[in-house]
């Protein structure tokens, strides 16, 4: 495929990724602030955001850190929140599965909500798009977003380090997490899963190290699957 075509696809990805910056910048700054407030060092905060690049799971892990949960529970909670990435990967496989290994590894690293959503939408609108252009477009979307996520996390961390401990801003974490999750609730299955997770989490608040949250997450996923299956049956 001509290099000019691949370059055009990359630039198109950058263009489609730019609108997401409006949402990414404030959340990146907020993560930096609350990470420092939760006790992470600047290096730990930046390592966290660069290696993970997944706001929802990062906020979930921070919330458990503040609650002094065991490291195993923190990792499991972050994994549970990020399970959607496995579904994203499965959806991308028919489009990008034929790419070279190094490109697939890079796509896997940069596979987050915005890069996935923008890319799948473009692939659906352009079914004849060559493989090289599909990869270039995906990387273009990620290239528009990732630097802002990392750099504004640094800004937030530096601001957070200057905030006096007496301000006690830990309450921002659950609010930020809710504000990220709420827009994803778009169907009856999502509503049911959110309701069950909230109820179970409140009932199991007595469990140690935040383990009640993991039980709530499992119950929520099971509820979502059952409701979705029921809805598919009704439509059929």
pLDDT digits (tens, 9 = 90+) for 145-176: 999 999 999 999 998 777 666 655 555 556 65
pLDDT at 133: 94
**Measured between alpha carbons, how far is 74 from 134 in angstroms, rounded to an integer?**
35
Residue 141: is its pLDDT beyond 70? yes
Tell me how far apart the alpha carbons of residues 45 and 204 are, in angstroms, rounded to a whole number: 30
The reported pLDDT for the residue numbered 178 is: 63
CA–CA separation, 31 and 33 (whole Å)? 5
Own/partner long-range contacts of 185-191 (Cβ < 8 Å, ≥24 apart): 187/228, 187/231, 188/227, 188/231, 189/223, 189/224, 189/225, 189/227, 189/228, 189/231, 190/224
CA proximity to 111, closest of 100, 103, 122, 99: 103
Band of pLDDT at residue 199, cut at 50, 70 and 90: very high
Alpha carbon 88 to chain centroid distance? 11
As separate numbers, helices (DSSP H) first and strands (DSSP E) second, the chain gives 12, 0
The owner of tokens 């990220």 is 180
The span from the CA of 61 to the CA of 75, in Å, is 7
Instruction: Supply the pLDDT for residue 1.
Output: 45
Give me the percent of the chain exceeding a pLDDT of 90: 33
């Amino acid at each position: 495929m001509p290099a000019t075509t691949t370059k055009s696809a990359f630039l198109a990805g950058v263009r489609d990724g730019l609108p997401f910056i409006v949402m990414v910048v404030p959340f990146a700054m907020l993560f930096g602030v609350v990470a420092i407030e939760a006790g992470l060092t600047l290096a730990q905060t930046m390592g966290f955001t660069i290696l993970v690049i997944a706001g929802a799971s990062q906020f979930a892990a921070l919330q458990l850190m503040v609650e002094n949960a065991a490291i195993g529970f923190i990792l499991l909670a972050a994994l549970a929140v990020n399970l959607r990435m496995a579904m994203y990967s499965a959806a991308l496989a028919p489009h990008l599965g034929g790419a070279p290994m190094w490109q697939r590894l890079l796509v896997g690293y940069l596979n987050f909500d915005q890069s996935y959503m923008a890319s799948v939408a473009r692939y659906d609108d352009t079914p004849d798009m060559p493989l090289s252009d599909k990869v270039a477009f995906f990387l273009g979307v990620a290239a528009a977003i990732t630097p802002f996520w990392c750099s504004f996390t640094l800004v937030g961390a530096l601001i957070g380090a200057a905030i006096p401990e007496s301000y006690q801003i830990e309450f921002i974490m659950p609010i930020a997490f809710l504000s990220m999750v709420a827009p994803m609730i778009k169907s009856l299955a999502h509503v049911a899963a959110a309701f069950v997770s909230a109820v179970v989490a409140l009932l199991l608040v007595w469990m140690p190290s935040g383990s009640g949250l993991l039980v709530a997450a499992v119950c929520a996923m099971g509820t979502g699957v059952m409701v979705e299956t029921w809805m598919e049956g009704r439509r059929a």
